[in-house]
């Protein structure tokens, strides 16, 4: 089973290849590449792969300057990651470092720059998100209805592959700048 660091390196390579392929395809006039941001995900490694995706989502997102030197990555709800998400602890992203926390009190969510909302809180997701309007917080989930409820990036398992969609309108309202490279790799971008 590959380690999280290996998955991060591989996903970075996949992202680079997809972006280079996209640029090459545009230059040659062929249009969009067929490959989207997907990764084979057996049920055993699903959350290991999702943790690698989360690292890349953070790496391809710009926060306002006043956010500080630490990116607080919070997991809210039942933790399906186990120790996999902990491997992101102290990982560098640009000039910042990631700090991982598990949160069970919704009042503490405003101290996070990234929140992963577990499937276990899907019935309360709209209420949780309504307490965060306009704040520079990258909200993530893996619930099929999460985008329509207001999450910025949602991951889904489709045909044993992880695909993601982005709600760009909400990202902009939150003061976040999602890289065009990441937008190109999304299965769907909502305005």
Residues 117-134 have pLDDT tens digits of 999 999 999 999 999 888
Q: Please tell me which residue, 52 or 42, carries the higher pLDDT value.
A: 52
Mean pLDDT in the chain?
83
Q: Please tell me which residue, 172 or 41, carries the higher pLDDT value.
A: 172
pLDDT at 39 over 50: no
pLDDT at 2 over 80: no
Per-residue DSSP letter, 60: T
Distance CA(125)–CA(30), nearest Å, equals 40
Structurally, how many domains does the chain consist of?
1
The CATH number for 13's domain is 3.40.50
Report the interhelical angle of 4-28 vs 46-59 (nearest 10°).
60
pLDDT tens per residue across span 66-82? 888 899 999 999 999 98
Distance CA(162)–CA(137), nearest Å, equals 22
Tell me the residue range of the domain where 15 lies: 4-190
Contact 41, 162 (CB under 8 A): yes
User: Left if phi > 0, otherwise alpha if psi is -120 to 50, otherwise beta: which for 92?
Assistant: beta
């Amino acid at each position: 089973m590959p380690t999280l660091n290996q998955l991060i390196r591989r996903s970075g390579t996949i992202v680079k290849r997809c972006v280079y392929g996209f640029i090459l395809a545009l230059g040659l006039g062929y249009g969009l590449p067929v490959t989207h941001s997907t990764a084979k995900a057996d049920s055993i490694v699903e959350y290991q792969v999702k943790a690698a995706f989360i690292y890349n989502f953070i790496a391809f997102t710009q926060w306002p300057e006043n956010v500080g030197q630490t990116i607080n990555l919070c997991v809210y709800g039942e933790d399906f990651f186990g120790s996999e998400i902990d491997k992101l602890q102290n990982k560098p992203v640009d000039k910042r470092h990631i700090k991982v926390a598990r949160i069970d009190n919704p009042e503490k969510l405003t101290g996070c720059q990234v929140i992963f909302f577990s499937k276990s809180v899907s019935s309360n997701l709209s209420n949780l998100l309504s307490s965060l309007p306009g704040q520079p917080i990258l909200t993530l989930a893996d619930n099929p209805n999460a985008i329509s409820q207001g999450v910025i990036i949602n991951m889904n398992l489709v045909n044993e592959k992880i695909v993601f969609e982005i709600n760009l309108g909400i990202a902009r309202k939150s003061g976040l700048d999602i890289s065009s490279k990441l937008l190109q790799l999304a299965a769907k971008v909502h305005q």
